[in-house]
Structure 1
Amino acid sequence: IIGCVVNGPGEALMTDVGFTGGGAGSGMVYLAGKQSHKLGNHAMIDHIVEQVEKKAAEIEALSAAAE
């Protein structure tokens, strides 16, 4: 989660789940290093937690399948 509108988008390209701020009350969500959708700051925490939990479940499922 980066508030800088200058560096944030470049750094978000290296994330599984990212959020860049800097807009007027909203920011951009990045998934798998790609811009996904805009989101209001008021919903940021719940939404990011949801996305991180979803990604963690995917990783756990892949790990279990590999065993």
Structure 2
Amino acid sequence: EVRVGFEMLKALGIRNRGVRVVSCPSCSRQGFDVIRTVQALEERLQHIRTPMSLSVLGCVVNGPGEARETDIGITGGGNGKHMVYLSGVTDHHVQDTGMIDHIVRLVEAKAAEIEAADAAAQAPQVVAAE
């Protein structure tokens, strides 16, 4: 119940904590099992508290547009080869095998990057006396 409540607040933009996953409902065009992939990613990314977005779309019809709007995105492709977007930009391909582990590593790295930037921005600025 608590988890569902947090997800509702996140969807409404009231509380922004953790990974916001945007996904398609899946259809016959999907290049991988979107629903199972999202379920696995949501479970594996529960420990992330840093606000960020992840798009998981099964095809190249709607996937690229959504991926351009998220921190990390994946779109389904042919022959088990899928496109990964970082900060809205096409970055590299990933195979079906190990895809979930790869995305988890990317999200963890992006969370660390965001946290480091936030810490640097909040650090007191030292001004040298003349």
Runs of 4 or more above 3 Å deviation: none
1:1-60 deviation per Cα after TM superposition (whole angstroms, max 9, x unaligned): 110220001111111111101322110000110111111011210110011001000110
Q: Which has the higher contact order (CA 8 A, sep 6+)?
A: 1
Structure 1: runs of 5+ lacking an equivalent: none
Higher Cα radius of gyration: 2
In the TM superposition, 1:1-67 aligns within 5 A as: 1-67=56-122
Consecutive unaligned residues in structure 2, runs of 5 or more: 1-55, 123-130
Per the normalisation by structure 1, the TM-score is 0.90
Q: How many residues align?
A: 67
TM-score by length of 2: 0.49
Q: CA RMSD in A?
A: 1.0
